[in-house]
Structure 1
């Protein structure tokens, strides 16, 4: 025999001797050591820790600004990493437990060998788990299969927990942070208008000192040309308190019937007959004493609009002991009474008839305003609530020693002290009674000379609303001087983190079920004293064979001579094997169950 053949035979004999010794020599049976589950326990602990980290991050950032997150990864990326780690660690622990369960499954009772493949496939992923549940649900393995399938939505549910919502954030306006939220108010009206030299206290005004900006506000309001800005805002702003400001107001009433009742011969005068204009029959006087022109020339021309005004500024001295007390003087807040006659145009006859008339009378004067719930967006100011209150009679006072009674002081209960220059009010009153405001608009086939004033502003629309627009414009002009300013809050949109905790149900359920499955498998495996922790070892499966006894009704037994993981490792490291098929080995019967 050659030397190489002798060496090969010696090596083969040595391996056979090793196998025989291990098969015959049985180690004492002992309980599976708990430390054999160390990796599974560590993985499940890591999974729970990762999930706890996700919950901690979300609880910390819930309802906070996204800018408060300073980690180099975004919140979705961070929780996605932790969620993936939690799922993977739990899957590792579940896989080991399922693999060990197949040995428990065959130890407890005779089972079909098909169960071996089903359980092993279930330990490898969702498809095997689905097949196990569909074909043959079994004990704890079904729990593991359910966990594996539910885990498919684990990461998706974790990521769905986070939403980013832009919300409005209000900050106090300040030049220090580059934001402005300034609201203009007025507690006084004093533009610098002066009396003409050599005249009494309110009899005449130096026209070079008249507040032309306020007169411009009158015209802007009448023709809806916008108003002066009463706020300064760097973005969007809000003012949450209640603010008081001096302003102007109008009180209007329809006095058509009352005026016509003062002229009982109107119907007889305006009889529609051919004739010229009758001056003595063309004038109307309202109940408030304002004269209006309603003249016409039959088939020639007619009045369309007539505007008239009278002054309401008046100094009142209180009567004491039957005599006027000239040491105390009062003034009402009214400035002027204005009346507007509007006539429907008769293009056939150019005649004025009573049924075609509309007469409105308005008092214009000072008022006090209360504003609340104000906000701005762009160049528009929105006022949630505003109220106007009529001022009581004010007291005349001197602004300095050189003037005698040139300021009206209003000390109305519930409001701050408000002041107005008599000279400025006189300038407004002169405007209303002048031909720049009062006048007549005519229409027809013949030209008619005369001042039209602001009559064109009242040719259409609601007369009361036109006056309201006028006094609103005057009030805004007064407030735009910013004699009193209040700071508000600027509003900016910031992204906030909002957690939808309902999406946490599935991840927590998966983890709780995983922990329960791990504990149950660990407990069952520990109760079997002679069952090693083979888990998913393929080598361990190779060491088992199926043996039959004639007296056991064709129930096979799974048997092995390897009793410990140490023996299995030595066997795997030293034994070489080759796949061969032998015709003399009997085939397995498909109808039988096997018992280990």
Structure 2
């Protein structure tokens, strides 16, 4: 097909494209032709001469002028102008970048963060790969959209402003949005523009895939747990009933368990360098306590017998074993029983305490409601699970083992230690001397006593503790025989299970004394340290993968469409507009005269329709 017709009187100056420099020099001439159609003093490039091309010259890449001379431009096309190789390479790089992100995240998922040289972090790698993917995927998207404008002009007559619309769409999301809104690109143009907009989410979504969480992991730090397999702490004592007395740490532990308001485990020291440690369940020598309600076994006790009138309101209360409240003025009593070699108690028993009272824990004052508790303290083996969390020690007793064997009345007193077989088959014991020393001291410490509201001389003694109490429903001046009676009385009315808790604290304190005695075993445990690990949220990777797949599909559609319609691969080349030639007639060119601003020319271009012919030239319709 012949070159498009150019009006003899038309020039670039008529459409406002006249250069403000010297005349353009043609490659094959010594000097440019003079332009006779000047406007003012501005030099213009005249298009009054018609250029034609022959098939032979077209094939060789040269043009023939009307005077017969030939100007050869050679083969100036590059690979990017004739193939889709650069776009395919960029697409492969973008695909590989997203694949690398997935691979790196999959490798380090649920693992400790890697330590790389120069303080390079995992976020740096993800950001770098994301930027690489974003940049390389932009090439096929931009060139694909640019190529679609030539397809648009090839297939149908189109307003000139669509040329700019496609160019803007290939440069960023704002132009892409305008392309979608005006929809001149039909399906493929809108599809490519949508991917361009969606591609801006590639970076944020890639960064959201990786999250960092803290967790505890085992370290090589030291974790040691004291465990008692025996106890032999005792001192000789001439003043004791059996010649032995406990060592001072044991006495301190007992007082701490009875009187201290703090946790009786506080003196117990474990080695945990990280502040978070665990140990396997261990068996240790311990002291166990238990309490039961024996109120049903109470009966009236009248020291002088039942009055003749049958009124027992002034009488006290008693249990079958002899524990009693002497009179109605006694509101609380404690009776202790120590095992003897000729008794029927298990020889692991340390002490039995019986508590009786006449006042209820709650209700109106003077609400008489007699009650009785039996509490036992004995040696045992405890299976304990131990942990230190944020520096705070916690223990959980999962199993308790005792020895219920009673003392053989035919045996010699004090020939054997108190021995208990643990669940793992090993034997733990407390030496005979240590057991006798504790028993001797307890016989004085837990002597029988009571609390009374009677201020008579027969009740008040020199060693009595006089306290004006306001605790529970009990109030007023109360007289206590000993400090031990006072503490159990207080605990009963102050707390729901006060006596039982007091016995538990006492047992725990004695167990701590066993486990902190010299020579105890140290069980190794696991010390945990805080570690930051990677947690991958795979749902966030969907958008980056979708962008890559859509870009592949879009480029394939553009390539197929260009081959199908024989559209030149001009893509976004700005020179292509110059090369194709704007075959506007003289009347069409007049429309642009006097239009100085770009906006005015754009308004005119909306009404000028052109179409790309078979030879790659723009022809006005």
TM bracket (short chain): 0.7 to 0.9
Q: Which residue of 2 aligns with 1:143?
A: 191
Give the counterpart of 1:369 among 362, 365, 382.
382
DSSP-derived class of the 1:119 partner: helix
Matches within 5 A, 1:211-290: 211-225=247-261, 226-227=263-264, 228-260=267-299, 268=307, 271=312, 286-289=319-322
Provide the rounded CA distance (Å) in 2 between the counterparts of 1:272 and 1:287: 20
Query: Is the counterpart of residue 46 in structure 1 residue 88 in structure 2?
Result: no
Structure-2-length-normalised TM-score:
0.71
Q: Using a 3 Å threshold, how does the CA distance of structure 1 residues 10 and 389 change in structure 2: closer, same or farther?
A: closer
Deviations 1:222-258 (A, max 9, x none): 2244423052322333435221112112232333442
Whether 1:118 and 2:165 are equivalent positions in the alignment is: yes
Question: Residue 504 of structure 2: SS of its match in structure 1?
Answer: helix
1:11 is matched with which residue? 31
Q: Distance in 1 between matches of 2:165 and 2:226?
A: 81
The CA distance in 2 between the partners of 1:379 and 1:522, in whole Å, is: 67
C-alpha contact (below 8 Å) 1:43/1:93 kept by paired residues: yes
**Counterpart position of 1:458:** 488
1:409 equivalent to 2:419? Answer yes
Q: Distance in 2 between matches of 1:113 and 1:267?
A: 125
1:441/1:261 CA distance change after superposition, 3 Å: closer
Question: Which position in structure 2 is the counterpart of 1:392?
Answer: 404
Runs of 5+ in structure 1 lacking a partner?
Answer: 172-176, 274-280, 297-301, 318-329, 397-402, 557-579
TM-score of the aligned structures, taking structure 1 as reference length: 0.74
Equivalent pair of 2:306/2:312 in contact (CA under 8 Å): yes
- Asked if 1:382 is matched to 2:394, the reply is yes
Q: Which residue of 2 aligns with 1:594?
A: 611
Partner of 1:93: 140
| Counterpart Cα distance in 2 of 1:257 and 1:444 | 27
**After alignment, is 508-517 or 37-46 more displaced?**
37-46
| Superposition deviation, residue 139 in structure 1 | 3.5
Does the 8 Å contact 1:315/1:331 carry over to 2? no
CA distance in 1, matches of 2:334, 2:541: 74
Contact kept, 8 Å, 2:288 with 2:504, in 1: the verdict is: yes
Q: Distance in 2 between matches of 1:33 and 1:522?
A: 15
1:247 touches 1:368 (CA, 8 Å); kept in 2? Answer: yes
Which residue of structure 2 lines up, in the alignment, with residue 310 of structure 1?
337
- Say whether the 8 Å CA contact 1:288–1:361 is kept in structure 2: no
The answer to whether the 8 A contact 2:381-2:420 is kept is no
What is the CA–CA distance in structure 1 between the aligned matches of 2:306 and 2:259, rounded to whole Å?
Answer: 34
Select the structure that is richer in helix.
1
CA distance in 1, matches of 2:571, 2:312: 118
- Report Cα offsets for 1:298-328 as digits up to 9, x if no partner: xxxx4343322222142699xxxxxxxxxxx
Supply the distance in 1 between the matched residues of 2:271 and 2:399 (Cα, whole angstroms): 22
Give structure 2 stretches of 5+ with no counterpart: 1-21, 35-44, 62-76, 464-480, 493-497, 596-603, 614-621
Q: Which residue of 2 aligns with 1:569?
A: none
Check whether the contact 1:184–1:480 (CA below 8 A) recurs between aligned residues. yes
C-alpha spacing 1:522/1:266, structure 2 compared with 1 (3 Å): farther
Q: How much has 1:495 moved relative to structure 2?
A: 1.1
TM superposition shift of 1:547: 4.6
Q: Post-superposition shift, 1:498?
A: 1.1
Q: Is the 8 A contact 1:113 1:594 kept in 2?
A: no
Equivalent residue, structure 1, for 2:473:
none
Q: 1:276 aligns to what?
A: none
CA distance in 1 between partners of 2:538 and 2:397 (Å): 39
In structure 2, relative to structure 1, the CA distance for the partners of 1:69 and 1:305 (3 Å cut) is farther
Instruction: Establish whether residue 476 from structure 1 lines up as the match of residue 491 from structure 2.
Output: no
The residue aligned with 2:234 is 192
Partners in 2 of 1:404 and 1:361 — Cα distance?
27
Tell me which residue corresponds to 1:127: 174
1:265-307 Cα offsets, whole Å, 9 max, x none, are: 877497567xxxxxxx77x653334x445347xxxxx434332
CA distance in structure 1 between the partners assigned to 2:147 and 2:289 by the alignment: 92
Match of 1:163 in 2: 211
Deviation at 1:80, TM superposition (A): 1.5
Per the alignment, in what secondary structure is the counterpart of residue 276 of structure 2?
strand
> Aligned-pair distance for 1:394?
7.9
